[in-house]
Amino acid sequence: MKRLSLLLVLLLAAGVATAQAAPAGTTHHKSSASAKLKPIKAEGEVVSVDTTANTATVTVNGEQMTHPVKGKAAIAELKKLKAGDKVSLTVMANAAGEHQYISAIRPSMGSTATAEKKPMAKKKY
């Protein structure tokens, strides 16, 4: 009877210890290969860019967030941006809605990053 009680206590302790262990990959910017990400479209304003670390800090709906930028096209566009530029971006998020990275970023219409300065054509009267 004592052996059975001891065995049950050990099994219970092992179960509690296993249940308390944090699941791997639960931090905000980590993604696992098996997790499916979904794109979220957003409009925002660039606060800052870090072309060395390939990160962008953007204000979207009054919330400032910093995320890594991934993908050749997105990184190339990141290098053209500066603080104050209005941008359209695609943020990849996991099933829990946690943002993982920016997969696409481009200037919005009217942004100074894409606005070409052309001389106004003279009107003929």
For tokens 């791997």, name the residue. 24
- The encoded tokens of residue 73 equal 């096209």
Whether 103 maps to a domain, the answer reads yes
The answer to the question of residue 72 being in a domain is yes
The answer as to whether 20 is a domain residue is no
**61: in domain:** yes
Q: Please give the tally of structural domains in the chain.
A: 1
Q: Is residue 115 very low, low, confident or very high in pLDDT (cuts 50, 70, 90)?
A: very low
The first and second tokens of residue 26, run together, are: 């639960």
- Quote the pLDDT of residue 43: 94
Decide if 113 is inside a domain. no
Q: What is the mean pLDDT of residues 26-51?
A: 76
Report the DSSP beta bridge partners of residue 107: 87
In a domain, 77, yes or no: yes
Reported as a single tens digit per residue, the pLDDT across 50-66 is 999 999 999 999 999 99
Could you read off the pLDDT of 17-34 as tens digits, one per residue?
A: 555 554 554 444 554 544
Strands across the sheet containing 63-68: 63-68, 55-60, 38-50, 86-93, 99-107
Whole-model pTM: value is 0.60
Phi, psi angles (nearest 5°) of residue 122: -75, 135
Give the CATH number, domain containing residue 60.
2.40.50.320
State which residues form the domain around 77. Answer: 38-107
Report pLDDT for 109.
Answer: 73
Beta bridge partners of residue 109, listed in sequence order: none
